[in-house]
């Protein structure tokens, strides 16, 4: 399986706090059947002021540590970007590592605030699309506006956004409302990938298998496999800017 959303890079955001914890998380991922992980530290202006320049050295160091500890995991770097006005400058300055590409467009993992969909979000999405960047909305099933009113996701669907649903949501581990929205999206064929959004060992481990099995029970093996292998394989295989194409996927993508 291929996991395109994770927070294993140590000490750079609210994910792994130390190298040892990051290595433990990587071992859990491998044991769950994950062969490739893209590390996506937060770019959240005024909270996690990351950029390509701050992510790259941490990624390079951790990639070497995985090799030193004989952990057989293919890795790449990208970012999870909080929707904000600052995104425009970060894109213009080429400071956002992308997930890869999809149908000729760069894929940016875009996070909505957890409590609402900010006014003007559609305009920012259109601005990105106009620059050959397609947003993949991170964990929309956990957004409170979308939980309250499923129709609020419609503008993003109509604009052609991609969607990443958390595997633990699909498995019911983020509560009933998030599980319901995950299933709603699954049944509408709106999910592009399932990902772990792993942060820690206790509450947010890098487990994809539970979400895969939950999806498989509803839509069958072929569609479920597309969410954890086929679709993410396309994204990482076609590469991206500033981190994916030169990081050594090694998962049989291309």
pTM above 0.75, yes or no: yes
> Which residues are CB-neighbours of 94 under 8 A, at least 6 positions away?
52, 241, 242
Q: How many CB atoms lie within 10 A of CB 121?
A: 18
Q: Do 168 and 174 touch, CB atoms closer than 8 A?
A: yes
Buried/exposed code over 201-216 (b: 16+ C-beta within 10 A; e: otherwise) = eeebbbbbbbbbebbb
Tokens linked to 100: 């890869």
In the chain, % helix, strand, coil (3-state, to 5) comes to: 45, 15, 40
Q: Do 81 and 111 touch, CB atoms closer than 8 A?
A: yes
Tokens linked to 64: 């070497």
- pLDDT value of residue 238: 74
Map out the domains of the chain as residue ranges: 2-237
pLDDT tier at 174 (50, 70, 90 boundaries)? very high
pLDDT tier at 243 (50, 70, 90 boundaries)? very low
Alpha helices, H only, 93-175: 121-129, 144-148, 154-159, 167-170
Q: What is the pLDDT of residues 135-172, one digit of tens each?
A: 999 999 999 999 999 999 999 999 999 999 999 999 99
Assigned fold of 2-237: TIM Barrel (3.20.20)
C-alpha distances out from residue 181 to 111, 186, 231, 253, Å: 17, 8, 20, 30
């Amino acid at each position: 399986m291929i996991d395109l959303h994770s927070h294993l890079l140590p000490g750079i955001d609210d994910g792994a706090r130390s190298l040892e914890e990051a290595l433990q998380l990587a071992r859990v991922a491998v044991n769950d059947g994950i062969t490739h992980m893209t590390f996506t530290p937060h770019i959240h202006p005024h909270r996690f002021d990351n950029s390509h320049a701050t992510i790259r050295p941490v990624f390079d160091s951790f990639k070497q540590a995985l090799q030193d500890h004989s952990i057989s995991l293919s890795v790449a770097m990208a970012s999870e970007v909080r929707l904000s006005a600052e995104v425009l400058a970060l894109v213009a300055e080429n400071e956002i590592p992308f997930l890869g590409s999809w149908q000729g467009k760069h894929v940016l993992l875009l996070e909505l605030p957890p409590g609402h969909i900010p006014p003007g979000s559609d305009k920012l999405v259109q601005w990105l699309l106009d620059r050959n960047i397609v947003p993949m909305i991170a964990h929309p099933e956990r957004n409170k506006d979308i939980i309250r009113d499923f129709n609020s996701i419609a503008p993003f669907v109509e604009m052609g956004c991609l969607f990443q649903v958390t595997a633990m949501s699909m498995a019911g581990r983020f509560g009933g409302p998030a599980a319901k929205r995950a299933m709603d999206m699954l049944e509408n064929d709106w999910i592009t990938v399932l990902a772990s959004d792993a942060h820690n060992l206790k509450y947010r481990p890098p487990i994809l298998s539970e979400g895969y099995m939950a999806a498989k029970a509803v839509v069958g093996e072929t569609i479920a496999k597309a969410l954890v292998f086929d679709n993410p394989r396309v994204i990482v295989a076609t590469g991206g800017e500033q981190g994916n194409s030169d990081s050594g996927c090694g998962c049989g993508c291309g």
